[in-house]
Chain A
Amino acid sequence: KKNNNALLRYLLDKDDTK
């Protein structure tokens, strides 16, 4: 579970509403 890099995936996937 430690190395599925969830935070990185979230940061790359997230939608920016600018």
Chain B
Amino acid sequence: PPDIPEVILKLLQLEPDEAQVKGRIVACLQQEQGKGRHERLSTFGLMCKMADQTLFSIVEWARSCIFFKELEVGDQMKLLQNCWSELLVFDHIYRQLQHGKEQSVLLVTGQEVDMSAIAAQAGSILNTLVLRAQELVLHLHSLQVDRQEFVCLKFLILFSLDVKYLENHALVREAQEKANAALLEYTAGHYPHCADKFRQLLLRLAEVRALSMQAEEYLYHKHLSGEVPCNNLLIEMLHAKRT
């Protein structure tokens, strides 16, 4: 079998311990639920808290990531401000890929939620967003996206060339180029029967971006309605691009 490119091997090593992440988030949410009746969060509020805690893990991952750790904090912040919601959405999507059930959603806590329950309880916009994510899951499933490709795509999301005013633009470009080359090499070598898998994956990434932009707008709208718990990383990131 062909080799796995060095970049991808390194990224695989940097993947967080899922059980640890899950345990931390579950503990945090249980603490929320232990509060008095008047302080307790709504279901939506809990989902926001869950996303907020997942973001913490994403930042932890980015911090230790190759190339990223070479950047100054200012540039690190710009990259994450650009892609935080994409990384959240992609994390959700990959979880569903592994979960492998069209009719239910697997949360980072390990809880499984039926699509019918989401349809019944979530507003129409949120329901639409979740359905669109499920569609993307199906597309990626038919493309046979594997873990090696997942970590590479995650890295490509982080090192987006869309970000302006970077101090070390050259390093970001180098990271992008290396990751693209690795993904091309990997897909061509391991899926020779799957014509153009590299380009197909990048097309799906664009869809992840579009979906995450919609999700951000939805969340911002909910925030303006006072429904999103405040003073947390999620709200900060939401505000970062909206001056």
Interface residues of A (CB under 8 A from B): 2-3, 5-9, 11-13
Interface residues of B (CB under 8 A from A): 56, 59-60, 63, 73, 76-77, 80-81, 232-233, 236-237, 239-240, 242-243
Q: Cα distance A6–B242 when bound, in Å?
A: 15
Known: A5-B77, A12-B59. 6 other contacts (CB 8 A): A5-B236, A6-B236, A7-B236, A8-B240, A11-B60, A12-B76
Check B73–A12 contact: CB distance below 8 A: yes
Check B233–A12 contact: CB distance below 8 A: no
Residues of B within 8 A of A9 (CB): 73, 77
Residue of A nearest to B234 (CB): A7
Residue of A nearest to B84 (CB): A8
Residue of A nearest to B241 (CB): A3
Counting from the closest, the 10 A-B pairs by CB-CB distance are A3-B239, A11-B59, A5-B240, A2-B239, A12-B73, A12-B76, A7-B236, A7-B233, A5-B236, A3-B240
Check B63–A8 contact: CB distance below 8 A: no
Residue of A nearest to B72 (CB): A12
Check B237–A5 contact: CB distance below 8 A: yes
How many whole Å from A13's CB to the nearest CB in chain B?
6
How many whole Å from B163's CB to the nearest CB in chain A?
14
Check A5–B73 contact: CB distance below 8 A: no
Q: Given B56, B239, B240, which contacts A11 in the complex, CB threshold below 8 Å?
A: B56
Residues of A within 8 A of B81 (CB): 5, 8
Q: Cα distance A3–B242 when bound, in Å?
A: 8
How many whole Å from B203's CB to the nearest CB in chain A?
30
Residues of B within 8 A of A12 (CB): 59, 63, 73, 76-77, 80
Check B239–A8 contact: CB distance below 8 A: no
How many whole Å from A5's CB to the nearest CB in chain B?
5
Check A8–B242 contact: CB distance below 8 A: no
Q: Cα distance A9–B205 when bound, in Å?
A: 27
